[in-house]
Structure 1
């Protein structure tokens, strides 16, 4: 079934930061939103749901646990979404390189930032309408072509891996009419982005949503920033 009252979005990873802001922005624009948190504790998202008049439903999933992603699919199996947005990411120490990063840290970033978001896409894609959009939160730091400064070496590698996996997904599903987007939100002041970031959430997220809206029903895969500009691979 399709939720009543307008277009529908499923936002994965929305307890705080950019994910929370996305959920709030789509609510402001009149969408029905299902958004997820990882743990069982109460979050700002639950408070937002309480004031949403029933237009925001909170689900729980840890995307690094495949069984939880499958269970989420099963709970939502009768719902059709216009948008699936997978927002997930952890950062690394800016100065840490492959010369000194621990294997555990490297694996954690790759699993959280690249493998797990794509597993979500693979598992939940059928919940998205044929003319709908599947978007994944990437980063400008995932661009190989634009990396001329270094820093955040492992984080960059994880986002580049995400981009590559999304391209492979698009190639495997070349006949799928859904629009596929990798979104670079800019350097935003969040827990992940840090206090020195150039953009506020209010400067980034409305642009992210405008960019997604502008690409609706166009099909194909694009790597775009929050202003709708193409990011070099």
Structure 2
């Protein structure tokens, strides 16, 4: 009998939203490949222990190009229905004029350049009718930014959005679905303790929105409720 289970690769799945997405896709009957940084044990390893062989844990430091290449080689025989890149850091609410150059470089590398390298280099693994998504934020929206604050984090997400638009334009005609996902304001290290949503409240909506957009080619900037986020 042919195995018809779908396969998702979740990059950055050791905790919070990434871990939640890995668990959600397992609940939906998918096979899941999740990446973690380093060799230490994480929540993803614990989840794999209960997944009956349907969850594979891979090591990936996304900011190291050679590790992206090595992951691509290891997965060369796999066909992905979903590639989702979930990774971001913040370094506090600092006015941009006070941000050191090395901090600016670190955030831009982690939040914008590295995710796009993953998208570019792992694209051949994604089925023609599959989906490529990255975790964005409404803080990356230029038109929604009426209050300011979190200058560097906002800039990184805006850069990610713009780079995805460049990618979409360069691959015009590609049938794959491209998504920028806003998970909502979630109680994570980035979102803070006062955020409106728990991971458990956000993640099913993120997965459902990605599924509802499957087969819709081009780039879509949407939130966990399926609503369009303005640029």
Shorter-chain TM-score: which interval? over 0.9
SS at match of 1:218: coil
- Cα RMSD, aligned residues only: 1.0
Q: Distance in 2 between matches of 1:217 and 1:91?
A: 33
SS at match of 1:99: helix
Within a 5 Å distance, the mapping from 1:189-204 to structure 2 comes to 189-204=187-202
Q: CA deviation at 1:5?
A: 5.1
Q: Distance in 2 between matches of 1:5 and 1:202?
A: 27
Query: Is the counterpart of residue 118 in structure 1 residue 116 in structure 2?
Result: yes
Q: CA deviation at 1:4?
A: 3.6
Q: In structure 2, what is the equivalent of residue 86 of structure 1?
A: 85
Q: CA deviation at 1:8?
A: 0.6
Q: In structure 2, what is the equivalent of residue 10 of structure 1?
A: 9
Q: In structure 2, what is the equivalent of residue 102 of structure 1?
A: 100
Distance change (3 Å), C-alpha of 1:107 and 1:147: same
Structure 2: gaps of 5 or more residues: none
Q: CA deviation at 1:194?
A: 1.3
Structure 1: gaps of 5 or more residues: none
4+ residue runs of structure 1 moved beyond 6 angstroms? Answer: none
Query: Is the counterpart of residue 67 in structure 1 residue 66 in structure 2?
Result: yes
Q: CA deviation at 1:93?
A: 1.0
Q: Distance in 2 between matches of 1:34 and 1:140?
A: 27
Q: Please tell me whether the aligned partners of residues 179 and 218 of structure 1 are also in contact (alpha carbons under 8 angstroms).
A: yes
Q: CA deviation at 1:92?
A: 2.6
Q: Distance in 2 between matches of 1:53 and 1:203?
A: 25
Q: Distance in 2 between matches of 1:16 and 1:201?
A: 10
2:185 to 158, 175, 187: 187
